[in-house]
Amino acid sequence: MEVSVVGFEWTSRKPNEGVATIYESNITLNKSASAHFEHAYSVLLGMDKERNRIAIRPVTKQEFERGTIPEEKLHKITVRSSYARVSNKRFIEKVSTLANLELHENNALKFKTTWNDDEDALIIDLDQKGETLK
């Protein structure tokens, strides 16, 4: 059944925009952003200092087993039905220093994300800051 009311745009319950929330010790991805990591064995974390961006690239179990990626570069990702989380306090400290982010106890920042097919990675633009959570 079509519902039509002039002048209204109806929204979906599901957010179609990927959002990363950066806490003092982890990066939490909303359901839209975490969809890219459903089959990830682990991830690579990278920082683009010139463009003020973070990249999270999924690594499959096959890539891990081939041994082409050094084990010390791999980071654990926890994927649940409505979110995914990568914990690495040292990486977050480095990012917050480089991007001048104020992260401390009970403080988190939200950022827009985009998927980059060429890099096969989720890009978090640290210049696209959303709300601050306390």
58 φ, ψ to 5°? Answer: -70, 145
Question: Which tokens is 54 given?
Answer: 């973070």
State the pTM of this model: 0.84
CB 53 within 8 A of CB 126: yes
Residue 12 lies in a domain: no
Residue 9 lies in a domain: no
Rounded distance between C-alpha atoms, residue 109 and residue 96, angstroms:
11
Query: Which residues are paired to 75 by β-bridges?
Result: 43
Residue 84 lies in a domain: yes
What's the number of domains the chain is made of?
1
CB 111 within 8 A of CB 130: yes
Is the per-residue pLDDT at 12 higher than 90? no
**What's the pLDDT score for residue 82?**
94
Share of the chain above pLDDT 70, in %: 87
Instruction: Give me the domain span that covers residue 114.
Output: 19-133
Summary mean pLDDT of the chain:
88
Q: Which helix (H) or strand (E) holds 55?
A: strand 53-59
Rounded distance between C-alpha atoms, residue 27 and residue 103, angstroms:
12
**What's the pLDDT score for residue 128?**
83
CB burial class (10 A; 0-12, 13-18, 19+) of residue 113? buried
Rounded distance between C-alpha atoms, residue 17 and residue 42, angstroms:
23
Residue 31 lies in a domain: yes
Residue 1 lies in a domain: no
pLDDT in tens, 74-103: 999 999 999 999 999 999 999 999 888 888
**What's the pLDDT score for residue 107?**
84
